[in-house]
Structure 1
Amino acid sequence: MALDPQAAALLASLAGAPAPAAPDYARLDAASYRAALAAGVAASAFAPGDAIAAEHDLTFPGEAGPIAARLYRPINAEGAALPLTVFFHGGGFVACGIDTHANICRTLAARARTLVLSVDYRLAPEARFPAAAHDALAAVRWAAANAAQLGARPGALAVAGDSAGGNLAAVCAQQLRTEAGSVAIAHQLLLYPVLDCSHEHPSYETWGQGYLLDRGLMRWFKDQYFGADEGSTDRAAPLASPLGTEHLADVAPATIISAECDPLRDEAEYYAARLAQAGVAATLVRWPGQMHGFASLLGVLDAADAALDFGARALRAALHR
């Protein structure tokens, strides 16, 4: 299928503009990438997401000090305690944060009728693997233990994330099922997630250039997160590559949204297949004609609104029982 017309128009508008990442990845540093990306986002006209009742910033304890987060509270006419979804933003483990993904969080909160806790986990290369994974696990443990304090209904907890954040959500769903005093996760919503840091699948070649996220940038992200040693066993560890985990039984049910024109498409779809083979309820939707990151582009792509609506309905079905 051809690229969606709205997505194609967006890519055409970006052609000739300064790219957020320089083509010489060997010379690119994280500070320069973040600055270029921030300038590009500031110049974009993305919709802010659905109306909600309130949002406020907070912190919780992490292994390297307090971790910042933002709690989004939907309009709740009934006034009852609501479920809670812990959200992890994308950005290749290197960039982005709470503000860049606020529109996704507001939309999920409003449409799924769930509190959303967006987590400002540590970024690479200042904090390399497994810092982000450890922060994500700490966030879900803390959220579960403090549900009442947050105004959430205990026992109704989901994890969600896009891209690198989808990796962290999947890691949490896997790791927290087995440890002592495990946290019960009702659902995981993964938007075009990074699920295999140790291998490149065929979609890296098919969609690896010209579709917003290119394979060179993805390789650079991994080098920032793990260091430049591509042979490092860290890249295949369960905290890095959920796709490679041998035993997947009893992982939380999943809704996985892949983008057709995305170098990460194959790993998302392989993961959905592996979950299903393990007996885990897994719904996979490949969004036609879309590129990586499309769900953030509210107000620009109709597909962003539709995908978030689909994901929110999955969360609502899982959490409101």
Structure 2
Amino acid sequence: MGKPLSVSHRFQAFAARLLLSLPDSLQRRLAGGGPVERDGHTLDPQVQHMLAMQRRMRRPHFHELSVARARREMDINTAMLAPLAPTLETVSEDRFQGPGGELAVRIYRPRGLAALAPATVYFHGGGFVVGGLDSHDPVCRILADEARCVVIAVDYRLAPEHRFPAAADDAVAAFRHVVASAGALGIDPKRIAVAGDSAGGNLSAVVGLETRGDAVRPVFQLLIYPAVDLTMSFPSIESLGKGFFLEKETMEWFMGHYLRGAEDGRDPRASPWFADVAGAPPAAVFTAGFDPLRDEGEAFAGKLEAAGVPVAFACHRGMFHGHVSASGGLSNARPALSEIAGALRRALQ
């Protein structure tokens, strides 16, 4: 539903998908080396080849760009290998009054749902700086279709125009708006989850914690390679911070735009890792073996479990940060996305 790719980018996307369909042995050869291993994980051959192609095409990292150009690059990146999106019953746009002005939402309703359907409030990734309704449109469509729920995607305010806690405030307000509008939306207020990837996983966790005193709380939180420690203190930030798509320098660029100062990094509404998580909603946490955020995601799952919160955890061992958005070109990423959708479906049904 976003701006279409240019002719040049469409050709690049076609060529990339074609090359990524080759046998694994040829993928590694074209990538220029043997298997890549880190911390007991082996990089998926298609991912290895994809990363090599990006280096050859000299695709820029976000931290090398202006904010405006990075936002356009995010839309291009996610469109290049986006999964095939199913046809839904309806996809509609709406707006509501948030803490800092009007916020847009996109509402996905698959065919065949009950009159009072389960729902998921979805927050996109992008380091609180890039991304939006269009960049994550295919993923939201697939989650709605495979999890059998209404998905409400939220276009929360981005930094640096709106620094912390703007995104967190918008996320909490969006969840409460959905609860208050449940009847009009045709959803069951007793079955509303929160979900998100990367920065969106952070916001989902924040909503789960901030609404613990509400009459209606999320029944589930789906955290896809979440960024839960904005102080960037876990080991995988260093061991996987270069060469695997999400760069440590990019994360520092994101934090420099989002946080008002270093002290914000330890605020539980910025970094759920520093929160008391007792009473948080049941969770499923998914990480990737070659993601700099891998260690903090796993540690957060452990912290939830230690606090008595029911948690399902899985690491997609050969994958990288952002693999669900590239699951149209990576054969092992697509089952991973279905696994994620399955966890959400079971929690809501």
TM-score range, shorter chain: over 0.9
Once the two structures are superposed, residues 257-315 of structure 1 have per-residue CA deviations (whole angstroms, 9 ceiling, x without a partner) of 00000110011000000000001011110101110000111211123321221122221
Structure 1 segment 169-184 matched on structure 2, within 5 A: 169-178=204-213, 181-184=214-217
Query: Equivalent residue for 1:65?
Result: 101
2:68 aligned partner, one-letter code: A
In the alignment of these two chains, the number of paired residues is 309
AA matched with 1:251: A
- State the Cα distance separating 1:120 from its structure 2 match: 0.3
The equivalent position to 1:299 in structure 2, one of 309, 317, 328, is 328
Q: 5+ residue gaps in structure 2?
A: 1-40
Task: State the SS of the aligned residue for 2:344.
Answer: helix
Range 156-165 or range 58-67, more displaced: 58-67
Match of 2:344 among 289, 304, 315: 315
Identity of aligned residues (%): 42
Residue 18 of structure 1, CA deviation: 3.5
Tell me the residue number matched to 2:149. Answer: 114
Post-superposition offset of 1:40: 4.2
Q: Which residue of 2 aligns with 1:263?
A: 292
The whole-number CA distance in structure 2 between the counterparts of 1:84 and 1:292 is: 25
**Which residue is equivalent to 1:235?**
265
SS of the residue 2:42 aligns to: coil
Partner of residue 21 from structure 1, selected from 54, 57, 61: 61
Q: What's the offset of the Cα at 1:45?
A: 4.0
Distance apart, 1:8 and its partner CA = 1.1
Q: TM-score, normalised by structure 1?
A: 0.92
Please say if residues 75 and 134 of structure 2, whose CA atoms lie closer than 8 Å, have aligned partners that are also in contact.
Answer: no
Q: Tell me which of 200, 209, 215 is aligned to 2:233.
A: 200
Residue 244 (structure 1) aligned to one of 249, 274, 285: 274
Cα separation, 2, equivalents of 1:308 and 1:155: 25
Residues 20 and 122 (structure 1 numbering): CA distance in 2 closer, same or farther, change over 3 Å? farther
Provide the TM-score with structure 2 as the length reference: 0.85
Please tell me whether the aligned partners of residues 83 and 327 of structure 2 are also in contact (alpha carbons under 8 angstroms). Answer: yes
Distance of aligned partners of 1:40 and 1:277 in 2 relative to their CA distance in 1, 3 Å threshold: closer
Aligned: 1:2 with 2:35: no
Instruction: Name stretches of at least 5 consecutive residues in structure 1 with no aligned partner.
Output: none
Higher Cα Rg: structure 1 or 2?
A: 2
Q: Deviations along 1:181-205, whole A, 9 cap, x unmatched?
A: 4432111101101000123210011
Map of 1:55 onto structure 2:
91
Q: What SS does the corresponding residue of 1:302 show, helix, strand or coil?
A: coil
Q: Does 1:162 align with 2:197?
A: yes
2:306 matched to 1:277?
A: yes
Letter in structure 2 aligned against 1:86:
V
3-state SS of paired residue (2:332): helix
Question: What is the RMSD of the two structures over their aligned residues, measured on CA atoms?
Answer: 1.5
The structure 1 segments of at least 4 consecutive aligned residues displaced by more than 6 Å after TM superposition are none
Q: 1:33 aligns with which of 70, 76, 79?
A: 70
